[in-house]
Amino acid sequence: MADDRPVPLDEYPVHQVPLSMKHVATGDRNAYDRCIFHVLDHHGEALLILGLGVYPNLGVIDAYATLRLGDPLHAVRASDALGDDRMRLTVGPLTIDVEEPLRRLHLRCTDDLLSYDLTWTAEFPALWEPHHVQRRGDRLTLEGRRFVQAGGVSGVIRAAGRELDVTADGWTGTRDRSWGVRPVPGEEGGRFAEERPTEGFHWIWCPVRFEDRFLMVVVQEDADGHRTLNDATLVRPGHRDRQLGWPQPEIAYRSGTRHPERALILLGDLRKPVELEAEILISSPLAIGAGYPPADDWQHGTWRGRGWTDRRTYDLSDPAAHPLAGYGVTDHAARFRLEGRVGHGIFEHGSFGRHDPSGFSAFDSVAP
């Protein structure tokens, strides 16, 4: 029997619809509310990715952390039944404490394989990303609202017998908060999916922190190059946000792969464009350890029972050992250059299937 008594969050005047805060306005099983953090050092030695998600119509809360340190990727994942206290962001050994909303967060993991104790401090205002809507035929498959932010991180990370001192001057932190409807494994494809096969997907998502400014670039294109998501915005405290038009990316891929080694993104007026250069430092495929599709060992929102925790180390020295990784999105820690300034952030990229502008004709196409 369902328990429909009020939950603690109902005490606050934050309701959007005449329902308890235990429930969301949609009955879609794919409703979600989650975050992702990136913590990277400026030399490309380490990339920590962590996140937490709530799936209110599935009764699931889960979290994960992965650390790329050389070839090994250390991963801790946890899942549990969703309780009534939505302000308690803890799953197993993983915790996110919002100490000051939009300003300071405390990130912790207490697992023996991978642990960290970090303070994430915003240096720029949170920036809305474009409203993201995606359909497959007439069926709504994704509708999300997101904001992104960059800042400094300080504290310690421990793994593989090493202790990494994280300092704001040598490390960068970015984060993304999103909520809405997004596919969760378990929905039957059936004839609908057979009649509307995915031809191709091309994605670039770049939050970049410079000393005095923050730049966000996002691009999504279909197989024929039709752009379904597009934005480039420069944020400077005390100034109006500067829109930089229609990003034009040029990606140099490693031969025989779709792994980017560097990229040039032209921004603003193409008669005199602003050039954003990206140099890839270290990479972490989200399908390995972090639970993003098409991961075959665990994906977000899936029921694992109460109190489930999983930890493992992956060897990324041989890409052939992880054949599914190339059909998902990869987060690349990168060094960026913009108008004489050097910054750091994430070059998140996914390209699979046909993409005419890149010269990829099918799922098995790679760079020459």
What burial letters (b/e) apply to 76-88, b meaning 16+ CB within 10 Å? bbbbbebeeebee
Would you tell me which CATH number, out of the four given (3.40.50.300, 3.40.640.10, 2.40.370.10, 3.30.300.30), belongs to the domain 31-180+199-358? 2.40.370.10
pLDDT-derived band at 33, boundaries 50, 70, 90: very high
Q: Which one is predicted more confidently, 7 or 2?
A: 7
Mean pLDDT taken over the chain: 94
Residue 302 Cα to chain centre, angstroms: 18
Average pLDDT over residues 230-240: 95
| Ramachandran sector of residue 160 (left: φ over 0; alpha: ψ -120 to 50; beta: rest) | left
Contacts of 117 (CB under 8 A, 6+ apart): 106, 107, 108, 155, 156
Beta bridge pairs of residue 304: none
Cis amide linkage into residue 207, ω under 30° from 0: no
Contacts of 327 (CB under 8 A, 6+ apart): 287, 294, 352, 363
**Residue recorded with tokens 């308690």:** 88
Reduce the DSSP state of residue 116 to 3 states and report it: strand
**Residue 277 near residue 336, CB atoms below 8 Å:** yes
Q: Model confidence over 147-156: pLDDT tens digits?
A: 999 999 999 9
Question: CA-CA distance, 62 to 50, in Å (whole number)?
Answer: 11
Distances (CA, A) of 256 to 194, 332, 366: 29, 18, 5
pLDDT-derived band at 190, boundaries 50, 70, 90: low
Query: Strands (DSSP E) along 82-170, which ranges?
Result: 90-91, 94-100, 104-110, 114-122, 127-128, 132-136, 139-159, 162-166
pLDDT-derived band at 189, boundaries 50, 70, 90: low
Residue 2 Cα to chain centre, angstroms: 33
Structure tokens at 290: 């972090």
pLDDT-derived band at 172, boundaries 50, 70, 90: very high
Q: Model confidence over 241-280: pLDDT tens digits?
A: 999 989 999 999 999 999 999 999 999 987 889 999 999 9
C-alpha dihedral (85, 86, 90, 95), degrees to nearest 10: -130
Burial of 10 (0-12, 13-18, 19+ CB in 10 A): middle
**Residue 202 near residue 355, CB atoms below 8 Å:** yes
What burial letters (b/e) apply to 45-74, b meaning 16+ CB within 10 Å? ebbbbbbbbbbbbbebbbbbbbbbbeeebb
Q: Edge to edge, what strands does the sheet with 260-267 contain?
A: 242-243, 227-235, 214-221, 200-209, 341-353, 330-338, 274-285, 260-267, 248-253
Number of residues that make up the chain = 368
pTM of the prediction? 0.96
Domain boundaries, the chain: 31-180+199-358
